[in-house]
Amino acid sequence: MAGRLSKSSAARYQESTTLRQLKAETVTAEVHDTTHYEDDRLARRNAVVLAIAQAFGGASATIIFAAGGLAGYYLLGPDKSLATLPPTSFLIGTAIGTVPAAMLMRRIGRRAGFMSGMVLGIVGGFVAMQAILVGLFWLLCLGCGIGGFAAAFGQQFRFAAADTASEAFRPKAISWVLIGGVAAGVIGPQSVIAFGDYFDPIPFAGAFLGQMLVMTAAFLVLAFLKIPRQPPASVTGGGRPLGEILAQPRFVMAALCAITSYAIMSYVMTAAPLAMVACNYTPNDAALGIQWHVIAMFGPSFFTGHLIARFGKETVVGVGLALLLGCAVVALSGIDLTHFYLALILLGVGWNFGFIGATAMVTECYRPEERSKVQGANDFLVFGSVGVASLMSGKMLSWLGWDAINWTTIPFIVLCFCLLIWLAMDKRRAIEPTDQL
């Protein structure tokens, strides 16, 4: 009997010792992680790596938007209404890939997940290139769709930058990553110009060879990424149900602003190269228009984070919506090359303020253990809407023309702006009773 009690006591002692060790290790790990969050050294390093990866990986998207619609126009018969289907396929692929990309990275980690996505991008470029060489429109759409699925991994760059950042540095980390888009805005269109006639006399196929090259470069850069693996859901508890998180008024408003900013940008940008060519400008003129647009999309990222920190997320989003409205006004004022370029520049800056501000709002709506499912759901909502907008862009341009494209953006901008004002007023009303106390 005494022996049994002795063994039982020994077992309890061993269990107690093990628990104390686990707690000590947990505290040590938490202190270690807190150190990273406080000094942001790891976050700064990761933001730089992701910015460089964005420069190359983001160039893939600009190649598809600069050349995909024109390549579709080249491959189609008399009915050109589906010319924007290749870039639309890219966006649909992105929407489909958002949740699988987030879940895969939850399982294998950010670095391995991102590198897997870049491999898919290389495959997509190869399929699209072969499609043009053999003259198959549906295969071009498939290649662009694979490229879009790969881009879903790249869309997580901005969230990955926030993973190891402190609350104060988080908006800046997101902006740093998007700064890489400035380089993407040059690399992508210049790749179209440099490689577009590589397979002459077949146009545009060489542009997708350029896509393969930039995705290879992004793959190599991502090998230097260092983000700690996220704890399994069984340890963290998995967080709140997704429906409860998405039902938060702040999340609804943030997602709506992100959808509006991105969908309008895609809607106008997808139609712009075709509209320019229809107005007797050259494909190179169209590619340069996309170049200035993408530079405008990402150039403000040098200071967008500072603006958010100083003036607040809602204010920056509101300015972005105003700039999108300015884009429509300029585009409706004429069809000179200057009008196209200025409208695309306003479109890019408006997207930057609206989308970065909305992304920063989204990061306030979830806990660390909830980030994968919320980020995936957010991107699915955004890119699902963007895919629909891009597809409608080609139809609207074919049926009603360039002016109709711009007129139809205005109601959505005004609606989102009004809801943003309502949210700000509701937030002020919630604060006032506290101030009175």
Tell me the pLDDT tens digit for each residue of 364-386: 787 777 777 787 778 778 877 88
Tokens standing for 283? Answer: 């494909």
* DSSP output for 186-243: HHHHHHHHHHTTTTTTS-SHHHHHHHHHHHHHHHHHGGG---PPPPPHHHH---S-HH
pLDDT in tens, 246-273: 788 788 888 888 899 999 998 998 889 8
- Provide the pLDDT confidence category of residue 349 given band limits of 50, 70 and 90: very high
CB 193 within 8 A of CB 204: no
Contact 211, 148 (CB under 8 A): no
Cis peptide bond prior to 433, omega within 30° of 0: no
More confident site: 279 or 175: 279
Q: 171-189 pLDDT, tens per residue?
A: 778 777 877 878 887 898 8
Is this structure's pTM higher than 0.85?
A: no
Q: For residue 391, what are the CA distances in angstroms to 84, 90, 186, 387?
A: 7, 11, 25, 6
**Is the pLDDT at 226 greater than 70, yes or no?**
yes
HSE-CB for 172 with a 13 A CA cutoff = 13
Domains of the chain: 46-231+241-429 (1.20.1250.20)
Query: How many angstroms separate the most distant Cα atoms in the chain?
Result: 99
Q: What percent of the chain has pLDDT over 90?
A: 28
User: What percentage of the chain's residues is helix, strand, coil (to nearest 5)?
Assistant: 85, 0, 15
- Give how far Cα 263 sits from Cα of 42, 62, 101, 267, Å: 33, 16, 21, 6
Cβ neighbours for 20, distance < 8 A, ≥ 6 positions apart:
none
The DSSP code sequence of 27-40 is HHHHHHHHHHHHH-
Question: If you average pLDDT over residues 102-113, what whole number do you get?
Answer: 86
How many angstroms separate the CA atoms of 101 and 110, rounded? 10
* CB contact at 8 A, 228 and 33: yes
d(CA 197, CA 220): 27
